[in-house]
Amino acid sequence: MTNSIDWGEFQGSSGDWQNFRFATAGDSICGEITELRIATMADGTRMPALTIKTDDGTEWSLLASQIGLQRALSTHRPATGDTIAIVYTGDGNPKPGKSAPKLFDVQVKRGDETPAPAPAPAAAAPSASSLI
């Protein structure tokens, strides 16, 4: 049997990016968006994917798989060159038979320094605006 996969394709051009995941309430990321794309999952589901370069020079790949994050990104409509701050603020109330939705605070500063309109922040939650 021959190996028909070119594994080099999956190393990335520089190999310098890492996957970012929100695991614990309070987890956050802030930096410049260097790439925006649509990721298509095996089941055909499409979702936003961002590459974010943080102040320390690390490039993070962020797949916006959570509905709450997709909605927040849709509200702000970030673009390449914008600075974005995202804080996972905790979990919402689950619907019967479903997992609790993750809640996010998202702030965007446009590349031209014009602040993007922001939704009202959640009460007593960490704020993404303090990261920008």
pLDDT per position as a tens digit, 95-123: 999 999 999 999 999 987 655 555 555 55
Phi and psi torsions of 114, nearest 5°: -85, 115
119 sits in the region (left: phi over 0; alpha: psi -120 to 50; else beta) called: beta
30 within 8 A of 84, measured Cβ to Cβ: yes
36 within 8 A of 48, measured Cβ to Cβ: yes
Give the ranges where the chain is alpha helix by DSSP (H): 67-76
Residue 122 has what pLDDT?
54
Map out the domains of the chain with their CATH numbers.
Answer: 14-130 (2.40.50.360)
3 compared with 44, residue with greater pLDDT: 44
Q: Mean pLDDT over all residues of the chain?
A: 83
Which has the closest alpha carbon to 62: 47, 42, 82, 43?
47
CA distance 95 to 113: 39
**What's the full length of the chain, in residues?**
132
121 within 8 A of 127, measured Cβ to Cβ: yes
SS3 state of residue 67: helix
Span 72-76, average pLDDT: 94
